[in-house]
Amino acid sequence: MRELRIALLGAGTVGGGLIELIQNRAQALQARTGTEIKITAVADRSHRKKAFLQNQSFDVSDDAISVIERDDVDVVVELIGGLEPAREWVLHALKKGKHVVTANKALLANHGKEIFAQAAEVGREIGFEAAVAGALPVVRNLRRVWVGSDMHEMFGILNGTCNFIITRMQKEDMAYEDALKIAQEKGFAEADPAFDVSGRDAAQKLAILSTLAFDHLVQESDIRVEGITELSPLDHAMAMRMGKVIRLLAVAKKKSDGYHLRVHPALISSKHLLASVEEENNALFTDDPYSGPTMIVGRGAGAFPTASAVLSDIAAIARNPEGQPEIWVSGSQSMQCASDASYRFYLRFRTLDRAGVLAAISKVLADHEISIATMHQEEGPEPVDVVIVTHGARESKLASALDIINAMEIIRAPTVALRLEEPGQG
């Protein structure tokens, strides 16, 4: 029996899940891969406090560098997260001729260029299925299954925290803060949820998927990000009245004027497949002229789902340890990001209920070539909500118009602007 020897850097939730998964499924893994997948060494700074690391067949150490450099290690699995020392360790492992598997989305979305180049130089595999959407097979599928694809648009629901909050708000007519609290109680949101609810987590994942789909290195800084913190129950109710639902979408489009890469809450048809993605689930919807519209949906986080994805990368190396590594960035495209885009917008203005308010708002919109499709005002105590849905409008024009409108004395809160997306209709 061939063997593949693993060093694990970081034995937290996912690392612990991986150890358990490899041990529980040892027999099936041997039968399915023809290889014994064997953990040789684990580096974890607090290993003395972790009962599951005691009395194991592998060595345990504080010292990541010496673990990386061991001769009896073929693959280094980096599960410590963050930028440093993860970057240093991953590069060091590649330089020492080890394959690397990582679940670190921040690392690849910010230092992808350096890491992919190093892997290519040494001819070693860098696997990162677990960096995007946990157990969902989206990373390899983009390069392997849809290998001939000519992807023009992708829509992801890539952050389970946001999707949980949004669908709870939608289904239970709940305020953002209340839904966030439930998410925190259930362990779907951190005590400080900013990284998730701001859309940044989804943006790092979108950078990775766009890199694969478009054959061109995309980094986190290329992506425009808007979060979900300003959503209100009224937005969900209005969306429903329009036959739509709100989701935090990670959107990547290739158009004649460049890439359009955005993370933002958007209204989509309630009949679209993406509308069926609820609670903490993740999903990726792709529409390629060859494969057609396709969606993958499931668990985007958690110890075992993420460990499963890590294991799939390890198994891919097990089958072909000395073969040609995956070409992740083929670089045949060289488009830039588009600076502007046209969308239909849902706008919610929070205003005093005075004569002339609608006239004032409408005039500013008209001055910026933004045409109103529908308008709705709720009755109630001041300030009131006025909802306008526009025809197609430039983002840049809308931004200018909202600068003026938000400065008006009658406007009592920053205007909420949500895009209408039509996945698969582009």
Of the residues 204, 308, 390, 415, which one makes contact with a second copy according to CB under 8 A: 308
105-122 and 200-214 are packed helices; what angle lies between their axes, rounded to 10 degrees?
Answer: 30
63 is written with which tokens?
């010292």
- Within 174-193, which residues bind a second copy (CB under 8 A)? none
d(CA 193, CA 66): 35
In the complex, what is the shortest distance from the CB of residue 142 to a second copy, in angstroms, rounded to a whole number?
A: 10
Q: Is residue 32 within the footprint of a second copy (CB under 8 A)?
A: yes
Q: Is residue 61 within the footprint of a second copy (CB under 8 A)?
A: no
3-state helix, strand, coil in the chain (%, to 5): 40, 25, 35
Stretch that binds a second copy, among 154-162, 248-256, 319-327, 399-407 (CB under 8 A): 319-327
In the complex, what is the shortest distance from the CB of residue 297 to a second copy, in angstroms, rounded to a whole number?
A: 5
- Please give the backbone phi and psi of residue 155, each rounded to the nearest 5 degrees, phi first: -130, 120
Annotate each residue in 325-344 with x if it binds a second copy (CB under 8 A) or - if it does not, as one string. Answer: -xx--xxx------------
Sign, CA dihedral 399-194-229-274, equals positive
Q: Is residue 319 within the footprint of a second copy (CB under 8 A)?
A: yes
SS3 state of residue 223: coil
Q: Is residue 311 within the footprint of a second copy (CB under 8 A)?
A: yes
Q: Is residue 122 within the footprint of a second copy (CB under 8 A)?
A: no
CA distances from 67 to 74, 312, 351 (A): 11, 22, 61
Q: Is residue 294 within the footprint of a second copy (CB under 8 A)?
A: yes
Q: Is residue 131 within the footprint of a second copy (CB under 8 A)?
A: no
* Closer residue to a second copy (CB): 89 or 155: 155
Of the residues 74, 78, 196, 215, which one makes contact with a second copy according to CB under 8 A: 215
* Closer residue to a second copy (CB): 20 or 59: 20
* Closer residue to a second copy (CB): 139 or 393: 139
In the complex, what is the shortest distance from the CB of residue 77 to a second copy, in angstroms, rounded to a whole number?
A: 14
* Closer residue to a second copy (CB): 64 or 297: 297
* Cα 148–chain centre separation: 23
In the complex, what is the shortest distance from the CB of residue 48 to a second copy, in angstroms, rounded to a whole number?
A: 28
254 is written with which tokens?
């290739």
Q: How far apart are the first and last CA of the chain?
A: 50
Tell me which of 205, 244, 253, 254 is the catalytic residue. 205
d(CA 90, CA 101): 9
* Cα 149–chain centre separation: 21
In the complex, what is the shortest distance from the CB of residue 189 to a second copy, in angstroms, rounded to a whole number?
A: 18
The DSSP result for 236-278, as a single string, is HHHHHHTTEEEEEEEEEEEETTEEEEEEEEEEEETTSGGGG--
Of the residues 273, 372, 404, 413, which one makes contact with a second copy according to CB under 8 A: 273
Q: Is residue 302 within the footprint of a second copy (CB under 8 A)?
A: yes
* Closer residue to a second copy (CB): 221 or 320: 320
Stretch that binds a second copy, among 25-33, 60-68, 108-116, 399-407 (CB under 8 A): 25-33
Indicate if 171 belongs to the active site.
Answer: no
SS3 state of residue 70: coil
377 is written with which tokens?
């005002």
d(CA 231, CA 350): 13
Of the residues 291, 362, 377, 406, which one makes contact with a second copy according to CB under 8 A: 291
State the pairing for strand pair 384-390/342-351: antiparallel
State the pairing for strand pair 244-255/258-269: antiparallel
Q: What string of H, E and C letters represents the secondary structure of 305-331?
A: HHHHHHHHHHHHHHHCCCCCCCCCCCC
Number of continuous H segments (helices) and E segments (strands) in the chain: 14, 17
Q: How many residues bind a second copy (CB under 8 A)?
A: 59
In the complex, what is the shortest distance from the CB of residue 412 to a second copy, in angstroms, rounded to a whole number?
A: 38
Residues tagged active-site: 205
Q: Which positions lie near a second copy, rule CB under 8 A?
A: 21-22, 24-25, 27-29, 31-34, 129, 135-137, 140-141, 143-150, 215, 273, 276, 288-299, 302, 304-305, 307-309, 311-312, 315-316, 319-320, 323-324, 326-327, 330-332
